[in-house]
Amino acid sequence: MSNAVSALQARVAPGEVTIREDGLRGMIILRGDLGSKKLRNVCKAVTGVAVSAQGQADVTGDNGLCWMSPDELLVLVPYAEVAQALAAIDKALSGEHYLAENVSDARALIHVEGVFAREVIAKLAPVDLHPDSFKPGDFRRTRLAQAAAAFWMRDEDTFEVICFRSVAEYVFGLLAQSAEEGPVGYFAKL
Amino acid sequence: MSTRLADQGKLINRSKSLDFTFNGKQLRGYEGDTLASALLANDQMLVGRSFKYHRPRGVVASGAEEPNGLVNMGQGGTFEPNQRVTTTPLFAGLSATSQNHWPSLEFDVGAINKHLSRFLPAGFYYKMFMYPRPFWKHVYEPFIRQSAGLGKAPKDRDADTYEHFNVHVDVLIVGGGIAGLAAALAAGERGARVLLLEQTAHWGGRAVVDRPEIDGQPADEWIKNTLQSLEKMSNVEMRLRAMGAGVYDHGYALAYERLTDHAPDMDGPRHRLWRIRAKQIVTATGAIERPLSFAGNDIPGVLLAAAVRDYAVNFGVSIGDRTVVVTNNDDAYRTALILKKAGLDVPAIIDARPDPEGPLIDEARTLGIRVEAGTGIAKVKGGKRVTGIAICAQAGEGAVLEEIACDCVAMSGGWSPVVHLWSHCGGKLMWDTEQAMFRPDPERPPTGAQGEANVITAGIANGHLFTTEAVGDGWAAGRAAAKAAGHTKRGGQAPLGADAEEGPIAPVWLMPQGASQALRSKAWLDFQNDVKVSDVQLAAQEGFESVEHAKRYTTLGMATDQGKLSNINGLAILSKSLNADIPDVGTTTFRPPYTPISLGAIAGDARGPLFQPVRQTPMSGWHNDNGADNEPVGQWRRPYAYIRDGESVHDAVNREVKNTRENLGLLDASTLGKLIVKGPDAGKFLDMMYTNMMSTLPVGKCRYGLMCSENGFLMDDGVVVRMSEDTWLCHTTTGGAESIHAHMEDWLQCEWWDWKVYVANVTEQYAQIAVVGPNARRLLQKLGGMDVSAEALPFMQWADGKIGECDARVFRISFSGELSYEIAVPAGQGRAFWDALMAAGEEFGIMPYGTECLHILRAEKGFIMIGDETDGTVIPQDLNLQWALSKKKEDYLGKRAHTRSHMADPNRWKLVGLETLDGSVLPDGTYAIADGTNKNGQRNTQGRVTSTYYSANLGRGIAMGLVHNGPDRMGDVIKFNKVDGDTVDAKIVDPVFYDKEGEKQNV
């Protein structure tokens, strides 16, 4: 697997808000009964964090869980550990009705960091990003302009954006363009 | 002449002059001017020509309602037509040119139309150009194209940038006049998240000019204090130069912020489109003054009364030395007072009311202004500029009593609340007889998703024309909106306004009321589109009773100003002609945007490389570096062929076709959809989705499957793979990946919600590469890693393992009829895998091939293609695919539909192969002709071509098509149309042209 590369190979667009492709990340789509004890336990065992509430993500380092829908989680692990994590999930949930698939290569992960990161995203996504409404740890499945995307807030100045690999170039371009156009001065009076 | 006054001008900075040009003429204005005020300060009254008669047109208003002052702005990449001079801020170096004239603004050949106006009455488009027929194409259309149209279309790419911005607020307030400010204050104090928008560059609206008292302070003081309070509220955002453009369903609104129009050298986007989700919307949009309809009311120098005082007070510009005010209400007296106090002459106030009384009238009389009650203007004298007026009795037919010399006429027919935003999403209006205007009906507001009222109108826009009520109404609206949005904190008291008491308005729709035909045909309603009182009356006579019909017949209100000045006057004339009440005639529909917004703002980022997402496979970069001639397939770009030096596209396709059959080809098949279907009920589910049986497919095997819609039409196909006991992998077409995923989820979520099945779209997880040709196995064996021999991996089976360094899932499937492996590797390894195949394949004659080669190879084998052989009307039986329709299954999607009489009709056209007798390639989509003609006199047909190619392997054209009774007519020769009108003979043959026994794929 040493020959695996991410969609944009860690491309960076530096600026007041910096856009950076984050490289390879292990991602597993997990569908099942989110109330199941077995499922919650194995998620915790694999990622070290508890199953998120609706609209939330809990991410520490390369590990984390994101709430995708009432029966779907996105499991984040280091890229090299996906097979191991899948095996653990399959073992734990054997006999239950669930689906776990590796989607690490189907996605791109883009890091948006800077003082007006909120506004860079708000130019593209029809989401309430007011600081009272969207806080670190919040997660949304939505769109950026014309492409499907999801994002969560890591801290006040940082968003992590996930999009499909095939549109990584487009989404990176959008974010870079948004950042280059500068702040709106709405969420943070600069 | 119009000129700059020595003093006055609240909005201009006389210490900073700005140079600009109009039609190449060097002119000078001040910082804070609009282009309109700067032009007027330079005595440039004439700004354009009207649309139809090319009449001289001057500025008539001072704001967004201006119909006449439209100019071309800028050059090259910043060129933009139809820019309104009254809302265009002046900046240094501005360059504008007038529109719709030829050869020059001062002398216009098209103005001859006015002498032809007898021949260009209402509906002339419909009457004049009908006969004789050939005249349209050769005479009328070229003439109209030359003479009609306002600005020119830009020729260069827009040099500026634009962006969108999404916000969610509790209360959106449109309009930053006193009502809007009071609303913001009330809502802000209560803790609501407020966005306050003002379309101009200044807060306070008309109050800044008319200076009523609020809370005992002059209005401008109150505005300043209120702004200071609002600025301290972190929950209130205020934006100037931001117009509320439209209100849509469920509290969605658009605003148009003009960031750099006043300072084009500033960095950042030029316009920003705000996409707002508001719990409550307050429209505090003010009112627009109405013109009066008298003969010659379109002559430059006739302006709205409030505009005349706006230019004096805000910009220190006088329109003329001698201004006659003509009115049916008290408000216009303010214009006379302001002008008189500025030292200008007001020879008379022509008041249509017989007995005007009130403090404003008294004040005018005290200042020595002559007030002529019960009179009207018989006509305005002058051509390109007002030189005087003739007055008459308003009650009469226009007999001239007296002529008065003047160079400006300030007219006021009363005020119409700006109800546009209220009306955009369903708010209804009511007619206020006393004030002679439509106003929002609070009982019938626009409603949100729950049926709740979600727009509140406030202040003058709500029909409260006087400060006393307007400011308090704004405050109450803000409080109510905040409450409806869930904010009930206590706040301060409502502000109290006071202004001079005004007497009643007298509705005047025509001046004089009995004006003769000659006068009516010079009394303009729509200045931009040249619609006169006589045109609307003619439309009514000719039976256009609906206001919407009359609008389209006369073009009233159809210009870029959308009838802001003309609509109410026009429908009053119409109602009078129909002998109906105004509210019974009703208004035309108010549609967003309020005034035109730039296409750039609507597009936002969607331009250049970001125009739309272009999907790329992990190998797209390689393709583009190696001569790929791409074609769009959905949002993907797939190589059509790889062009080598000196080759045409056709040469490249032929080379790829031969090489794949003779040596080795490589296809990037990553775009094909890949859906994982898993669960205890997955087999049952797939048996419903596909026409053939999938539940019985053994683990490790592949099966070609067909999918029909519930109406029986073929919608997708692909290879289904049994991964494990409870897991299947369904390949879809490239275009079907998302739609079939959605189709499956639809059935699972809405119909079979209790079936235990999960679906996941893993299309992009894998780079999928087809290794095709006689040397395919040799190449994979050279790379090593897993056993791909015929024994270990027979046709229609799959295996997991490694090929070379890469993690591979290998499917023995073939869409070409050749020995073929489709190999899926994780997308991250895709490029490395492709490179490894290309390097190792050199000795086997490897060449990548594109989608056209793929098509030809499958057509040589008679394989159907979704989208070519199918078009949404084709069922599997048409394509002789009965073998794939399971007879064992009780049900599957489409099964019942196939039993309908039309589906079971033996006369349906069926798939056959077609070979031209001369070996040529049949035109794509061409029809086979049959004897006779149908009832429309068209030639009968008996079939059509669905796929047609040149086959380099066979050295001739091959095609597939659907033909009446086709499979029973093997060997028959039928005629197909050619593009040049001739026909070509083609023989009906078996659709499998190549390797009929299928030996090559099964080795």
pLDDT digits (tens, 9 = 90+) for B706-748: 999 999 999 999 999 999 999 999 999 999 999 999 999 999 9
Report which of B458, B576, B453 is spatially closest to residue B510, judged by C-alpha positions: B576
Contacts of B537 (CB under 8 A, 6+ apart): B520, B573, B577
Looking at the 3D structure of chain B, how many domains does it have? 6
Q: What ipTM was estimated for this complex?
A: 0.97
> Which of B585, B604, B624 finishes a domain?
B585
Across residues B421-440, what is the average pLDDT?
96
B227–chain A nearest CA distance, Å: 17
Least CA distance to B231: which residue of chain A? A189
For testing contact with chain A, the best of B275, B615, B635, B638 (most A CBs within 10 A): B615
A101–B168 CB contact, under 8 Å: no
The CA-atom distances, in angstroms, between B57 and each of B18, B74, B103, B149, B229 are: 25, 21, 16, 15, 43
B657–chain A nearest CA distance, Å: 28
B478 and B343, same structural domain? no
- B611 contacts on A by Cβ (under 8 Å): none
Contacts of B651 (CB under 8 A, 6+ apart): none
Across residues B475-502, what is the average pLDDT?
94
- A141 contacts on B by Cβ (under 8 Å): none
B613–A99 CB contact, under 8 Å: no
A166–B193 CB contact, under 8 Å: no
Q: Cα B227 to the chain's mean position, in Å? A: 35
Residue B826 contacts A, CB cutoff 8 Å: yes
A145–B275 CB contact, under 8 Å: no
CB B86 within 8 A of CB B66: yes
Using CA atoms, how far apart are residues B340 and B322, in angstroms rounded to an integer?
10
CB B787 within 8 A of CB B769: no
CB B982 within 8 A of CB B929: no
Domain at B95, CATH number: 3.10.20.440
Contacts of B664 (CB under 8 A, 6+ apart): B771, B772, B773, B774, B775, B776, B779, B841, B844, B845, B846, B847
Residue A190: per-residue pLDDT: 43
For testing contact with chain B, the best of A184, A189, A190 (most B CBs within 10 A): A184
Which CATH number fits the domain A26-104, given the four candidates 3.20.20.70, 3.90.1150.10, 3.30.70.1520, 3.40.190.290? Answer: 3.30.70.1520
Using CA atoms, how far apart are residues B130 and B681, in angstroms rounded to an integer?
66
**Strands, sheet with B806-811, edge to edge from the N-terminal-most edge strand:** B798-803, B806-811, B820-826, B766-772, B664-668, B846-848
B277–A126 CB contact, under 8 Å: yes
Using CA atoms, how far apart are residues B231 and B222, in angstroms rounded to an integer?
14
B296 and B237, same structural domain? no
The least confident of B486-495, B714-723, B834-843 is B486-495
- A104 contacts on B by Cβ (under 8 Å): 765, 826, 828
* Per-residue pLDDT at B201 exceeds 70: yes
In this structure, what token pair is assigned to residue A26? 């292990």
Residue B996 contacts A, CB cutoff 8 Å: no
Domain at B227, CATH number: 3.50.50.60
B760–A170 CB contact, under 8 Å: no
Residue B596 lies in a domain: no
B799 and B661, same structural domain? yes
- pLDDT tier for residue B103 given thresholds of 50, 70 and 90: low
B614–A104 CB contact, under 8 Å: no
pLDDT > 90 in chain B, percent: 89
Using CA atoms, how far apart are residues A50 and B601, in angstroms rounded to an integer?
43
Q: Which of B164, B277, B762 sits opposite A106 (nearest CB)?
A: B762
pLDDT digits (tens, 9 = 90+) for A44-90: 999 999 999 999 999 999 999 999 999 999 999 999 999 999 999 99
Domain at B917, CATH number: 2.40.30.110
> Which of B413, B430, B461 finishes a domain?
B413
- B613 contacts on A by Cβ (under 8 Å): 146-147, 167, 170-171
In this structure, what token pair is assigned to residue B666? 């490589």
Longest dimension (CA), chain A: 55
pLDDT > 70 in chain A, percent: 97
Residue B709 lies in a domain: yes
CB B978 within 8 A of CB B984: yes
Residue B509 contacts A, CB cutoff 8 Å: no
Residue B614 contacts A, CB cutoff 8 Å: yes
Residue B604 lies in a domain: no
Residue B152: per-residue pLDDT: 81
What is the Rg, in whole angstroms, of the alpha carbon atoms belonging to chain A?
A: 17
For testing contact with chain A, the best of B161, B164, B166, B762 (most A CBs within 10 A): B166
Residue B561: per-residue pLDDT: 87
Q: Which of B604, B760, B764 sits opposite A164 (nearest CB)?
A: B764
CB B757 within 8 A of CB B678: yes
* Per-residue pLDDT at B52 exceeds 60: yes
B466–chain A nearest CA distance, Å: 34
pLDDT digits (tens, 9 = 90+) for B138-158: 776 666 666 555 678 889 999
B788 and B710, same structural domain? yes
Q: What is the DSSP letter of B368?
A: T
Report which of B327, B321, B360 is spatially closest to residue B342, judged by C-alpha positions: B321
B106: exposed, middle or buried (Cβ count in 10 Å: 0-12, 13-18, 19+): exposed
Least CA distance to B236: which residue of chain A? A186
SS3 call for B971: coil
Tell which B residues from 223 to 252 touch A, by Cβ distance under 8 Å: 237
B496–chain A nearest CA distance, Å: 32
B166–A126 CB contact, under 8 Å: yes
Domain at B742, CATH number: 3.30.1360.120
CB B530 within 8 A of CB B52: yes
SS3 call for B116: helix
Using CA atoms, how far apart are residues A63 and A46, in angstroms rounded to an integer?
8
> Which of B364, B386, B413 finishes a domain?
B413
B778 and B746, same structural domain? yes
Contacts of A34 (CB under 8 A, 6+ apart): A40, A51, A70, A71, A73
CB B1001 within 8 A of CB B948: no
Rounded to 5 degrees, φ, ψ at B143 are -65, -45
Going by their DSSP bridges, the two strands A72-77 and A63-69 should be labelled as antiparallel
E strand intervals along B153-205: 162-174, 194-197
pLDDT digits (tens, 9 = 90+) for A105-150: 999 999 999 999 999 999 999 999 999 999 999 999 999 999 999 9
In this structure, what token pair is assigned to residue B95? 């360059």
B163–A103 CB contact, under 8 Å: no
pLDDT digits (tens, 9 = 90+) for A148-189: 999 999 999 999 999 999 999 999 999 999 999 999 999 975
Whether omega for the bond prior to residue B291 falls within 30 degrees of 0, making it cis, is: no
A130: left (phi over 0), alpha (psi -120 to 50) or beta: beta
Residue B343: per-residue pLDDT: 95
The model carries a pTM of 0.94
Domain chopping of chain A, boundaries = 12-23+106-180, 26-104
Using CA atoms, how far apart are residues B741 and B764, in angstroms rounded to an integer?
13
A123–B832 CB contact, under 8 Å: no
- B756 contacts on A by Cβ (under 8 Å): 97
* Per-residue pLDDT at B503 exceeds 50: yes
B764–A186 CB contact, under 8 Å: no
B675 and B581, same structural domain? no
- Tokens 């007298």 belong to B506
B170 and B257, same structural domain? yes
Angle between helices B219-231 and B178-189 (to 10 degrees): 30
- Tokens 């609307």 belong to B536
In this structure, what token pair is assigned to residue A121? 């995203």
A170–B267 CB contact, under 8 Å: no
- A184 contacts on B by Cβ (under 8 Å): 165, 272
E strand intervals along B23-146: 25-31, 46-49, 56-58, 70-73, 80-84, 95-98
Q: Which of A105, A125, A173 sits opposite B827 (nearest CB)?
A: A105
B826–A4 CB contact, under 8 Å: yes
In this structure, what token pair is assigned to residue B272? 């920003």
Contacts of A120 (CB under 8 A, 6+ apart): A17, A112, A114, A159, A175, A178, A179
**In this structure, which amino acid lies at residue B630?**
N
- B614 contacts on A by Cβ (under 8 Å): 169-170
Q: Which of A6, A31, A125 sits opposite B758 (nearest CB)?
A: A31
CATH superfamily name and code, A12-23+106-180:
Probable tRNA modification gtpase trme; domain 1 (3.30.1360.120)
Least CA distance to B238: which residue of chain A? A186
pLDDT digits (tens, 9 = 90+) for B932-964: 999 999 999 999 999 999 999 999 999 999 999
Residue B899 lies in a domain: no
- Half-sphere CA count of A146, side-chain side, radius 13 A: 17
Q: Per DSSP, what are the bridge partners of residue B933?
A: B939
Residue B575: per-residue pLDDT: 94
- B737 contacts on A by Cβ (under 8 Å): none
Using CA atoms, how far apart are residues B929 and B983, in angstroms rounded to an integer?
9
Contacts of B228 (CB under 8 A, 6+ apart): none
For B76-218, where are the alpha helices, taking DSSP H only? 124-128, 133-135, 141-147, 178-189, 207-210
Residue B740: per-residue pLDDT: 98
* Per-residue pLDDT at B132 exceeds 80: no
Q: Which of A3, A147, A181 sits opposite B161 (nearest CB)?
A: A181
A106–B275 CB contact, under 8 Å: no
Least CA distance to B274: which residue of chain A? A123
pLDDT digits (tens, 9 = 90+) for B580-592: 999 999 888 999 9
A109: left (phi over 0), alpha (psi -120 to 50) or beta: beta
Using CA atoms, how far apart are residues B473 and B452, in angstroms rounded to an integer?
20
A105–B765 CB contact, under 8 Å: yes
B612–A181 CB contact, under 8 Å: no
Q: How many CB pairs under 8 A join A and B?
A: 137
B832–A103 CB contact, under 8 Å: no
Rounded to 5 degrees, φ, ψ at B425 are -115, 30
Using CA atoms, how far apart are residues B680 and B754, in angstroms rounded to an integer?
11
SS3 call for B964: strand
Q: Which residues span the domain enclosing B551?
A: 523-585
Across residues B168-179, what is the average pLDDT?
98
- pLDDT tier for residue B1003 given thresholds of 50, 70 and 90: confident
Residue B282: per-residue pLDDT: 98
Across residues B90-113, what is the average pLDDT?
77
* Per-residue pLDDT at B903 exceeds 70: yes
Residue B504 lies in a domain: no
Rounded to 5 degrees, φ, ψ at B949 are -145, 165
B4 and B144, same structural domain? yes
Q: Cα B442 to the chain's mean position, in Å? A: 30
B758 and B621, same structural domain? yes
Rounded to 5 degrees, φ, ψ at B490 are -75, 145
A123–B605 CB contact, under 8 Å: yes
Using CA atoms, how far apart are residues A81 and A83, in angstroms rounded to an integer?
6
B760–A125 CB contact, under 8 Å: no
Using CA atoms, how far apart are residues A107 and B827, in angstroms rounded to an integer?
9
Domain at B536, CATH number: 1.10.10.1100
Indicate the average pLDDT of chain B.
94
Contacts of A16 (CB under 8 A, 6+ apart): A114, A115, A116, A179, A182, A183
Give kind and range of the element (H or E) at residue B838.
helix B827-840
In this structure, what token pair is assigned to residue A107? 């996605």
B610–A177 CB contact, under 8 Å: yes
B560 and B475, same structural domain? no
- A177 contacts on B by Cβ (under 8 Å): 605, 610
Tell which B residues from 111 to 170 touch A, by Cβ distance under 8 Å: 161, 163-168
For testing contact with chain B, the best of A33, A75, A94, A99 (most B CBs within 10 A): A99
